[in-house]
């Protein structure tokens, strides 16, 4: 990867915490007021808006990041992704071929692939859009204001409706048009159970 001069970005109002650890593709465009933290890499045609915070150690390839977004640390934005204004993509989240609407957030440990996500959506920790059936990719749609609880699997093609909720720990394979979608086994507590080492 060729190391390019960051002078033009600095003159344009971009702030770098560590120029030596930042690698930008020549096609990268960055708006004024954006802060680039250490270890950021961009690949191919990347557009980053104004007043964003990127990194540390975020990798962005062939994607568009809107104004006011917060990305990272350790985020991977893969090709054909588009984040609207004020989106937050946090620790160890991967986004691929996905559109994320204004004000939505995925803060922790999630995979969002082949998805259309609306405005003001909350994506809980550990959420996966299950986009591949072994033959082809399918789309997950999450409409405005929806809330997806932690550790949810959304098996595409599937739609989570406007302001609908998905309960934590659910594996959703049918649309949730409104209200609450729950898809998990009922808890049982086996009080007399013992681990194998303790059994006679």
Coil, strand or helix: which one is 132? strand
Over range 102-108, report the average pLDDT: 97
108 in active site: yes
pLDDT in tens, 64-104: 999 999 999 999 999 999 999 999 999 999 999 999 999 99
Please report the pLDDT score of residue 199 as a whole number. Answer: 81
Please report the pLDDT score of residue 113 as a whole number. Answer: 98
Please report the pLDDT score of residue 90 as a whole number. Answer: 97
Over range 47-54, report the average pLDDT: 98
Candidates 76, 108, 135, 138; catalytic one: 108
Over range 108-133, report the average pLDDT: 97
Q: Check pLDDT > 80 for residue 179.
A: yes
Please report the pLDDT score of residue 135 as a whole number. Answer: 93
Please report the pLDDT score of residue 2 as a whole number. Answer: 56
Please report the pLDDT score of residue 197 as a whole number. Answer: 84
């Amino acid at each position: 990867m060729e190391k390019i001069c960051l002078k033009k970005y600095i003159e344009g109002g971009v702030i770098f915490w560590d120029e030596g650890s930042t690698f930008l593709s020549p096609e990268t465009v960055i708006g004024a007021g954006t802060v680039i933290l250490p270890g950021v890499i961009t690949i191919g045609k990347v557009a980053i808006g104004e007043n964003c915070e990127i990194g540390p150690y975020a990798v962005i390839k062939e994607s568009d990041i809107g104004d006011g977004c917060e990305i990272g640390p350790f985020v991977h934005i893969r090709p054909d992704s588009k984040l609207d204004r004020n989106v937050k993509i946090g620790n160890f989240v991967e986004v691929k071929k996905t559109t994320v609407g204004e004000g939505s957030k995925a803060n922790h440990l999630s995979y969002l692939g082949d998805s259309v996500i609306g405005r003001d959506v909350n994506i809980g920790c550990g959420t996966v859009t299950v986009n591949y059936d072994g033959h082809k990719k399918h789309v997950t749609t999450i409409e405005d204001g929806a809330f997806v609880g932690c550790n949810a699997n959304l098996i595409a093609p599937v739609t989570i409706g406007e302001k609908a909720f998905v309960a934590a720990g659910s594996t959703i394979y049918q649309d949730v048009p409104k209200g609450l979608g729950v898809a998990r086994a009922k808890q049982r507590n086996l009080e007399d159970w013992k681990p194998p080492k303790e059994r006679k």
